[in-house]
Amino acid sequence: MKRIVILISGRGSNMQAVLAANLNAQIAAVISNNPTARGLQVAREARVDTKVVNHRDFPDRTSFDRSLADTIAAYSPDLIVLAGFMRILTEEFIRRFSGRIMNIHPSLLPAFPGLDTHRRAIEEGVKLHGCTVHFVTPALDHGPIVIQAAVPVLPDDDEDRLAARVLEQEHAVYTQAIRWFLDDRLAIEGNRVHLSADCRYSGAMISPLPA
C-alpha cells in the first residue's frame, strides 16, 4: 500500500477531504510548519501521526527545508500532498522528492499564480475561474498539470463567494488526482502529465451562456 504525507499550514480543508476520501493508501503523517494549525487537531482526531517543523526555529529557508525533508523522508512516502502549505519550497527540497509532490492551486494555471487569486480573477473580469492540481517543480505554480476544474465568475461575486465555489471543486479534483497517482495512471513527460486508460471529457464550459 502506498504511503502519503500531507503538509499543511492552517485549517487543512483539502487535507480533510483527503482523509475522508477512503483512499487505497496509508496517510502516514500530517506535518505543519505552524504549531497552531487547526488541521493538526483534525488529523490527530483521525488517528493520523502529526509532526511540527516550525519554520521560525530556523535561520533560513534552506535549513528549514532540509529539516522538513528529513522529517518527511522518515515516513518513506510515495506521495507528498501540499494542502494549504504556505511555504515556498527550495529547489533542493523539490529535487529530493521529484515527481512525488502534488499541489492544488486556486486558479486555472497558468493564469494567476501566487496569492490573492480570487481577488485578481474578479478584478481582471474573467468569466471562468477555478483550480488546478499539478506536480511541484522549482518554477512556482508552473509544474505539470494533472487536472483542472472551472466555475463561472458571477456578476455579484466577491472573493469569499467565489472562493467557496472553487474550494468545493478543489476537494473533488484533488482526491481524484491522488487516486490516479495511487493507481499508477499518471506519467510525467516534460511539462505534461499523461493519464493512462479511459477518461471522460465534459466538453466546453461557457460563461455566460448565450441567450
Active site residues: 105
With contact defined as beta carbons under 8 Å apart, do 30 and 41 qualify? no
Terminal CA-CA length for the chain: 51
CA distance 132 to 43: 24
C-alpha cell at 34: 505552524
Provide long-range contacts, Cβ within 8 A and 24+ apart, for 26-30: 26/1, 26/2, 28/3, 28/4, 28/75, 28/76, 28/77, 29/5, 29/72, 29/75, 30/5, 30/6
Cis peptide before 208 (omega within 30 of 0): yes
C-alpha cell at 31: 506535518
